[in-house]
Amino acid sequence: MKIYTDIERFKKPDFATVTVGTFDGLHIGHQKIIERMKETARKNNGETVLVTFDPHPRLALYPDSQNLKFINTVERKFRLLDKFGIDNLIIIPFTKEFAKTSSDDFVKKYLVDKIGVKELIIGYDHHFGSNREGHFENLKALGNKYGFTVEEIKAQFIDGVAVSSTKIRNALMEGNIKKANKMLGYEYSITGIVVEGNKIGRTIGFPTANIDIEDKYKLIAAGGVYACKVKWNDKIYAGMGNIGTRPTIGINGLVTEVHIFDFDNDIYGDEITIYFIDRIRDEIKFANLDELKKQLEKDKEVVKKLLTKD
């Protein structure tokens, strides 16, 4: 995938199949759009072009908001786009001034003049441009005006519910990892650097890798104990994760940690990715470390069975 942070460097292909959006989560609805783009591009010996924005429009418009959280980091999003087979990614700087651009001006200046759009593919209920006036009917009219076609991909449903980034974020905040993963079409994950903790876990036979998450806008799932898989050095291991405050130990602040099964490597300073498979229980305060250890032993058996079944 070619990435352009300066649209002036982009060379128009003979046939550009384009989509526009922020694509938080890159869920199964987004993936359907990408598959349709690839199909159209192949039929016309063309290329796919995904246009997105940096920073995310909400960050530009509401920089002081404390509630801005996103399913994927920018790096994770780019890796997924590459994996899903997008040919070209164009990143347009988003500012408060840019937010005033009308949909007509955006389409003409960027999609038509700079990219040479021949087919624009959007998701259901898609809007963009100043006051969000760029909807399907408006875009069809612009397509007739500037010589490109517009296709709208219908909503994708999981268990009778239309998939959306908002619903995935809500599921994650509720701790419903299985629901979120179904809608994503892949496993929700957190990547970070392993840092030293208080090392109490190792005293009861459950050493954990505590991770530092640099991206303050990364959405962290609800607290609790999780069945996980862990990626380190391109290898996958089974594990048991915890998100929370560790009330039995009395640690202040939210901690994300994982006990990796059958693993004793020194990984301080290394990057790991934790893939969350299922949530098995709430975080609980126990009377002492012995009680905590007994519960963790039970949890481990539950997690092993879940991961074997998975």
Share of the chain above pLDDT 90, in %: 83
pLDDT tens sequence across 161-191: 999 999 999 999 999 999 999 999 999 999 9
Q: Are 76 and 191 in contact (CB under 8 A)?
A: yes
Q: Is the domain of 139 the same as that of 252?
A: no
Rounded to two decimals, the pTM is 0.92
- Kindly state whether residue 206 falls inside one of the protein's structural domains: yes
- Residue 304: which domain range? 187-309
Round to whole Å and give the CA distance between 300 and 204: 13
Place 248 in a pLDDT band, splitting at 50, 70 and 90: confident
Q: Are 127 and 26 in contact (CB under 8 A)?
A: no
- Kindly state whether residue 174 falls inside one of the protein's structural domains: no
Distance, CA of 25 to chain centre: 3
Round to whole Å and give the CA distance between 231 and 265: 13
Q: Is the domain of 127 the same as that of 276?
A: no
Give the list of residues 6+ apart from residue 217 with CB closer than 8 angstroms, or none: 56, 59, 68, 69, 70
Residue 286 clears pLDDT 90, i.e. is over it: yes
Round to whole Å and give the CA distance between 190 and 198: 21
Q: Which two tokens stand for residue 39?
A: 């199909």
Give the list of residues 6+ apart from residue 99 with CB closer than 8 angstroms, or none: 57, 60, 61, 130
Q: What is the pLDDT of residue 132?
A: 62
Residue 5: HSE in the Cβ half-sphere, 13 Å Cα cutoff: 3
Round to whole Å and give the CA distance between 103 and 137: 12
Give the end of a domain, one of 120, 143, 161.
Answer: 161
- Kindly state whether residue 172 falls inside one of the protein's structural domains: no
Q: Is the domain of 234 the same as that of 277?
A: yes
Q: What is the pLDDT of residue 129?
A: 63
Q: What is the pLDDT of residue 198?
A: 78
The whole-number average pLDDT for the span 193-221 is 91
pLDDT tens sequence across 210-241: 999 989 999 999 999 999 999 999 999 999 99
Q: Is the domain of 212 the same as that of 291?
A: yes
- Kindly state whether residue 176 falls inside one of the protein's structural domains: no
Q: Is the domain of 301 the same as that of 192?
A: yes
Q: Which two tokens stand for residue 207?
A: 């050493």
| Residue tagged 């036979």 (tokens) | 205
pLDDT tens sequence across 32-62: 999 999 999 999 999 999 999 999 998 988 8
Which SS3 state, helix, strand or coil, does residue 250 take?
Answer: coil
Q: Is the domain of 150 the same as that of 269?
A: no
Q: What is the pLDDT of residue 135?
A: 76
Strand partners, 273: 191, 231
**What is the CATH number for 273?**
2.40.30.30
Alpha helices in the chain (DSSP H): 28-43, 57-61, 74-84, 103-106, 136-146, 165-173, 177-184, 289-309
b/e 243-282 (16+ beta carbons within 10 angstroms → b): bbbbebeeeeeebbbbbbeebeeebeeeebbbbbbbbbee
Which SS3 state, helix, strand or coil, does residue 266 take?
Answer: coil
The whole-number average pLDDT for the span 157-163 is 93
Q: What is the pLDDT of residue 111?
A: 97
Q: What is the pLDDT of residue 161?
A: 92
Q: What is the pLDDT of residue 130?
A: 60
- Kindly state whether residue 170 falls inside one of the protein's structural domains: no
Check residues 68 and 146 and name the one with the higher pLDDT.
146
Task: Classify strands 117-123 and 88-93 as parallel, antiparallel or unpaired.
Answer: unpaired
The whole-number average pLDDT for the span 68-96 is 95
**What is the CATH number for 44?**
3.40.50.620
Place 249 in a pLDDT band, splitting at 50, 70 and 90: confident
Residue 136 clears pLDDT 90, i.e. is over it: no
Q: What is the pLDDT of residue 219?
A: 97
Q: Is the domain of 16 the same as that of 152?
A: yes
Q: Is the domain of 149 the same as that of 276?
A: no
Round to whole Å and give the CA distance between 97 and 61: 10
Catalogue the E-assigned strands of the chain. Answer: 2-4, 16-20, 47-54, 88-93, 117-123, 149-153, 157-158, 161-162, 189-195, 209-212, 224-232, 235-244, 255-260, 271-281
Q: Is the domain of 37 the same as that of 140?
A: yes
Q: What is the pLDDT of residue 140?
A: 92
Place 200 in a pLDDT band, splitting at 50, 70 and 90: confident
- Kindly state whether residue 255 falls inside one of the protein's structural domains: yes
Q: Are 71 and 168 in contact (CB under 8 A)?
A: yes
The whole-number average pLDDT for the span 263-289 is 95
- Kindly state whether residue 14 falls inside one of the protein's structural domains: yes
pLDDT tens sequence across 87-131: 999 999 999 999 999 889 999 999 999 999 999 999 987 767 666
Q: Is the domain of 130 the same as that of 272?
A: no
**Domain count of the fold of the chain:** 2
Which SS3 state, helix, strand or coil, does residue 233 take?
Answer: coil
Q: Is the domain of 57 the same as that of 115?
A: yes
Q: What is the pLDDT of residue 250?
A: 75
One-letter identity of residue 148: F
Q: Which of 150, 146, 116 is nearest to 135 (CA)?
A: 150
Average pLDDT, rounded, for the chain: 93
Share of the chain above pLDDT 70, in %: 97
